[in-house]
Amino acid sequence: MTDLPHSAPAERNKQPILDVLRKVLPARGRALEIASGTGQHVVWFATGMPQWTWQPSDAQATQAQADSLATIGARVVQSGLGNVMPALLLDVMAPQWFDQGIEFDLIFCANMLHIAPWATCAALMQGSVHHLAPGGVLITYGPYLEDDVVTSEGNVAFDQSLRERNPAWGIRRREDVQQQAERAGLRLLQRHAMPANNLLLVWSRATV
Ligand SMILES: C[S@@+](CC[C@H](N)C(=O)[O-])C[C@H]1O[C@@H](n2cnc3c(N)ncnc32)[C@H](O)[C@@H]1O
């Protein structure tokens, strides 16, 4: 696997995330991963939660992102897993992600909101509402700013470096993300503090 593009943070955070997924989710279900990146997460989760089927996806806004689908595919083939579907091209900004009626018990999105324009947040929430099965959850993971929590020095520096790379990027306020979720018809169900000053947030439909 060493020759495939590799994310060191994904390698570090995949087990802590899996530990929470196992606690929060039922024994089996159907999962959609948004912004799968290198595919390290989906392979790890599919290995650790074999009774779930996993649908990886990523957008193709740049050549690097086009390669992401091939990387995910290669990593899945190397893993030999039978419960991961071929990676799909999915830009959260697309007006319709899938045909109506295609639903998932989990929609998982790690580390996209701060490395994409702010409009992707509303798009993620609205698309998720359309494609969550009854009782399903959206889980977002990554760094957030929070009004009542002192921001770590690491996240202050990370936010600054993101904004220097692209003024449309930056760590999002959890409260702003929550507002977008609520507008779309989701509510924040759980907040899990994760290693390295990240959060794992569990969102469900506001009305069941
Ligand atoms: C920092 S990487 C995170 C990858 C992986 N989820 C992880 O945590 O290691 C950000 C990902 O967001 C994806 N992305 C950016 N804009 C997107 C969009 N509009 N729709 C879907 N994915 C997007 C990028 O292609 C990239 O794979």
Question: 99 in a domain, yes or no?
Answer: no
* 135 in a structural domain: yes
Can you give the length of the chain in residues? 208
Helix axes 40-48, 8-24, angle to 10 degrees: 30
CA of 136 to the centre of ligand 1 (A): 22
Question: Pocket of ligand 1, candidates 115, 125, 169: which has the most ligand atoms within 8 Å of its Cβ, to mutate?
Answer: 115
Residues 70 and 125 in one domain: no
Q: How many domains does the chain have?
A: 2
Residue 208, pLDDT score: 65
Q: Are residues 58 and 135 in the same domain?
A: no
Q: Which residues contact 151 (CB under 8 A, 6 or more apart)?
A: 145, 159, 197
Q: Which residues line ligand 1 at a C-beta cut-off of 6 Å? A: 7, 10, 34-37, 41, 58-59, 65, 68, 91-93, 110-112, 115-116, 120
Residue 175 counted as domain residue:
yes
CA 42-48-54 angle, 5° bins? 35
Instruction: Using the mean position of ligand 1's atoms as its centre, give its distance from the Cα of residue 37 in Å.
Output: 6
- Going by the DSSP 8-state scheme, the letter that residue 149 receives in this structure is B
Q: Are 151 and 72 part of one and the same domain?
A: no
Do 134 and 80 lie in one domain? The reply is no
Q: What is the end-to-end Cα distance of the chain in Å, rounded? A: 42
Cα of 151 from ligand 1 centre, angstroms: 23
The CATH number assigned to the domain holding 41 equals 3.40.50.150
Q: Are residues 85 and 116 in the same domain?
A: no
Kindly give the distance from the C-alpha atom of residue 29 to the centroid of ligand 1, in angstroms, as a whole number: 23
**Domain annotation covers residue 101:** no
**77 with 136, same domain?**
no
Residues 164 and 122 in one domain: yes
Does residue 100 lie within any of the structural domains?
no
Domain membership of residue 15 as a residue range: 1-21+30-91
pLDDT per residue, tens digit, the chain (208 aa), is 458 888 999 999 999 999 999 999 999 999 999 999 999 999 999 999 999 999 999 997 666 666 889 999 999 999 999 999 999 999 999 999 999 999 999 999 999 999 999 999 999 999 999 999 999 999 999 999 999 999 999 999 999 999 999 999 999 999 999 999 999 999 999 999 999 999 999 999 998 6
CA distance 56 to 191: 24
